[in-house]
Structure 1
């Protein structure tokens, strides 16, 4: 093997909040981070514009899964309606893969001070045989790729 390895099969994601597993998901978007660019046109310099890094940003995380009996994410979201505030929490999105026959985190993204900004129940249609999907959208203050546990 050339050292690059094979890509992980993206079959399942796990959401952990404050060190506790909240739920497993089948879809996750928003694992991205971007650094803005500020341009400065220096007087007398017409060959190029100076470019400098500026404020960073990251999109909200959006996780989707088949609806279950678990209410943990709904209760977290409902804190705002009940208390008028929601406590931001640190968390992780873990890509699960099979290593030596066991399902373990193989890639981990950590986020700081996240809170749910949107939660959606499934679209209900008795004429469809589709899985009832629900989703949660989490705003946060930064994303980092970290080493998997173990």
Structure 2
């Protein structure tokens, strides 16, 4: 691609989110997806007698939470029901994780790249502010923790 003079980077506005076991198109449409990142945590170790520097050693990879935003959907959606059941359970029922697939789509709707989030579960739900002086949509934000993710 780097040698192709006709290559143009894809837009970040055309993407799709799919939840394992949830097939409703309404539950797969989002206006924003963030948190696609990973970084190594670093431990600094001093060497005895060496004052010029510290050794910096990798310890564990750290992932951001996957954050999805969409127009508010009633509690009748499968995704909203799963999130509500998980967030309001007070650990009385087991958390039921799901795999999530985030795909960046080309102009023709075919996936250009995709990332799989394994064993995702909701950790936060929030609603946008209600303001009578603004003409804005009600936006809900769903945040998910996950075991790991990889490009597929």
Deviation at 1:139, TM superposition (A): 0.8
Aligned residue in 1 for 2:120 = 114
SS at match of 1:103: coil
Deviation at 1:89, TM superposition (A): 1.5
Among candidates 50, 57, 61, match of residue 56 of structure 1: 61
Question: What TM-score results when the alignment is normalised by the length of structure 1?
Answer: 0.79
- Which structure 1 segments of 5+ residues have no match? none
Aligned residue in 2 for 1:11 = 13
CA shift in 2, pair 1:124/1:72, >3 Å: farther
> 41-50 or 131-140, which moves further after superposition?
41-50
Q: Contact between 1:41 and 1:50, CA under 8 Å: does it hold in 2? A: yes
Structure with higher strand content: 1
Aligned residue in 2 for 1:137 = 143
Deviation at 1:60, TM superposition (A): 0.9
> 66-75 or 85-94, which moves further after superposition?
66-75
Deviation at 1:142, TM superposition (A): 1.5
- Which structure 2 segments of 5+ residues have no match? none
* Alpha-carbon distance in structure 1 between the residues aligned to 2:83 and 2:21: 18
SS at match of 2:109: strand
Deviation at 1:72, TM superposition (A): 2.0
Q: Contact between 2:19 and 2:28, CA under 8 Å: does it hold in 1? A: no
Are 2:102 and 1:93 aligned?
yes
Deviation at 1:13, TM superposition (A): 2.8
SS at match of 2:106: strand
Are 2:43 and 1:38 aligned?
yes
Runs of 4+ with deviation above 6 angstroms = none
Aligned residue in 2 for 1:103 = 109
Q: Contact between 2:20 and 2:98, CA under 8 Å: does it hold in 1? A: yes
* Alpha-carbon distance in structure 2 between the residues aligned to 1:46 and 1:3: 49
